[in-house]
Structures are given as structure tokens and as C-alpha cells.
Amino acid sequence: MPPVTERLPVFPWDRLEPYKKTAAGHADGIVDLSVGTPVDPVPPLVRQALTEAADSPGYPTVWGTPELRDALVEWCTRRLGAVGLGHRGVLPVVGSKELVAWLPTQLGLGPGDRVAYPELAYPTYEVGARLARAEPVAYRHPTELDPAGLKLLWLNSPSNPTGRVLDREELRETVVWARQHGVLVASDECYLELGWEAEPHSVLNPEVCGPDHRGLVTVHSLSKRSNLAGYRAAFLAGDPAVLDELLQIRKHGGMMVPAPVQAATVAALGDDEHVAEQRARYAARRSALREALEKQGFRVEHSEASLYLWATRDEPCWHTVAALASLGVLVAPGDFYGPAGDHHVRIAFTATDERVRAAVRRLSEEPLPA
């Protein structure tokens, strides 16, 4: 077996360590805006549901409780506009990153198969293809792909890292093209409830997919909307035939969401108030950071949704990383997400209010190296 260094790319964040040390040396401490990790409290009603389900000595089921499946179907109907989605069209998973990394393998893909993803994308799409020994293919426009050998097409709207939102027509064209060529579409919609300047749409909405969900699977996470990254609460929705195959495979693999987390997920999906409160926190942080960056000469592109600002000073991204690190602010270089990002940085607004204020103050008062 080839060593992991030959099969997979270098873990991107390892390359940030020297800049993290520089940022940590700032007199007022580091402001880490390099990752989208939630920092705000888990909503009380979710913690209560978790606690009440803590006495769960037996094994949970891979498919989840009927109550969980009811909650998933209801949320997809209410928030995505999905029609005709029953229990066979939903499946809980142990965090969305696990699913992204192992979906090609669980679908039985391998050598000779191709997996496509956006040219600016979350690195795990490529990793998932490589773990399956399939060929990873980055695209600019999905409908321009060569369909030969293409088995899985990833969409990501709102995008990580750019925050770009695909409109209904773009999504519809992709779905039509994929169906014509027998390509499964996996749509990563984990940031769907965090639109700022555009309304994100799901491929499961009938205005996009028509009367059924054939050939479509969507990925959803509670990490961002409900601050549940530590719970690993996520799920799939879409084509029942595909999800049934995944269910059987995941049963064999024992890939079960813990019972207390299932109960917490039911509580979180049934409440919109805490989502609105969290959106308000993020909106304020986003506005403050964007204004400070633009005053420093940054240009913010896309960024109409998600938890990031996609920004550039029209210089190599690592120069920008170094300049901001000198102010104690750590950001992610754009080339983590593909060569097309080599002149951008991704700036998360998931830090605390106090740390965001510190970043804004430094950007306003301290000179940024050229």
C-alpha cells in the first residue's frame, strides 16, 4: 500500500503553524479567523434534550429514531421546499465531513471512476475521491465537464470558501445535465441558512429538480446553524434509492449517530428562534470585519452567504497571510481551496465578539505591511 503522503495531499492547516506562532506573539493575543469553528453557546433547549437522553445504554440505529426522521423530513419540507420526502429520503450521519470524505467509497467508486468538485472548494471533496482511488476532477462550470467515467458531481452552494450562491437556474441546468449523463449529484448545502446578500436554494426544491429527487443527494449540518460542531450532527436528504444503499453500507460499518445527539438534533431542527439569534451575531461580526478590511484596501468578492469573507489585496495569498499575522490576525490562504484561490484569503467571522473587536481595532489602528 502506498504511504498516506503519496495518496493524500498534505493536511493544509499544518502549513499555517508558523503564521499562527507569529499571530500568537501579538501583545493582545491571537485573533484566529482561519477556521469556521463555532464559539457561541449551544442553545439551552438542545443541551436539555441531550441531557434528558443521556441515559441511553443500548445501541442507536443507523437510520435514527422515527422522531429524528420525522424532524428531518419536516425541516426539509419547511426550509428547503422539498416535496414528497418521506423517511426513506433522509439519513443521519456522523458529521458532514465524515460523509464527504467517505461518500465515494461508500458508493463503491474506485479506479476508472471520476469525482468532480468546484475549482475553489473544501479540500475534503478531493480527499474523498483519493480515498476511493477514484480520479478527482476540479471544474469551473459543471456542465462543461466531460461526462466519461464521471460518477459523482459535488455542488457547494453557499460555497466554502467563497460564499458564492448558485441561483436556481444554475442549479436547474446542472441537475438536468447530470441526469442526462447518469451522474449522481451530491449538493453540500451546510451553509444554506446563512445567506446575507442572496437567498440560497436547495437542489431538492421542485423549482430546481422537478417532481422527484432522482439522482440527487443533499448534505446538511447543524454545526453552523446551531453551534453543534462538537455534537457531529448532520444528515443526508434526497433520492431514496441512493440513501437506501448508503443505509445498508453504513449498517455494516456501524456508522451510528449517538442516541443523545439524535435527540438533540430533533430539538434543534424544531426551533428557528436560536437560528435567528445566531444569524444576528454572525451578521454583526461580518459587517464589522468587512468594513475594516475594505478600509485597509481589501476587495471582498462573492461572500453573499456562509461564514466567511473571500478577500484579496491582489497579491499572493501567503503574503496576505503574513501581513495579517503581523497584526495578530490569522486567516486561511486561498490556495488551501485550490490554485484558483492563490491571490485570496478566507476570513471567518466565527470568533467571539471580543476577538472580532480586537481584529477590527488592529486593522483600523495598526499599519498593515505592504
Q: Give per-residue burial for 74-89: e unless 16+ CB within 10 Å, then b.
A: ebbeebbebeebebeb
User: What is the rounded average pLDDT of the residues 144-151?
Assistant: 97
Q: pLDDT tens for residues 304-319?
A: 999 999 999 999 999 9
What pLDDT score does 273 carry? 97
* Contacts with 276 (C-beta within 8 Å, 6 or more apart), sequence order: none
User: What is the rounded average pLDDT of the residues 227-249?
Assistant: 98
How many other β-carbons are positioned within 10 Å of the β-carbon of residue 105? Answer: 16
With a cut of 80, say whether residue 2 has pLDDT above it.
no
> What are the CA-CA distances from residue 84 to residues 66, 197, 209, 218 (Å)?
17, 30, 12, 15
> What are the CA-CA distances from residue 22 to residues 17, 27, 192, 322, 345 (Å)?
9, 11, 34, 8, 17
With a cut of 60, say whether residue 184 has pLDDT above it.
yes
- pTM, two decimals, is 0.94
Q: pLDDT tens for residues 189-223?
A: 999 999 999 999 999 999 999 999 999 999 999 99
Domains in the chain, please, with CATH? Answer: 4-41+274-365 (3.90.1150.10), 55-271 (3.40.640.10)
- pLDDT category, 249, cuts 50, 70, 90? very high
Question: Minimum mean pLDDT among 185-189, 239-243, 299-303, 365-369: which range?
Answer: 365-369
> Quick check: 31 and 356 in contact, CB under 8 A?
yes
What pLDDT score does 141 carry? 96
> Quick check: 353 and 342 in contact, CB under 8 A?
no
Q: pLDDT tens for residues 59-101?
A: 999 999 999 999 999 999 999 999 999 999 999 999 999 999 9
User: What is the rounded average pLDDT of the residues 35-54?
Assistant: 97
With a cut of 70, say whether residue 7 has pLDDT above it.
no
Place of cell 467509497: 105
Q: pLDDT tens for residues 322-366?
A: 999 999 999 999 999 999 999 999 999 999 999 999 999 999 998
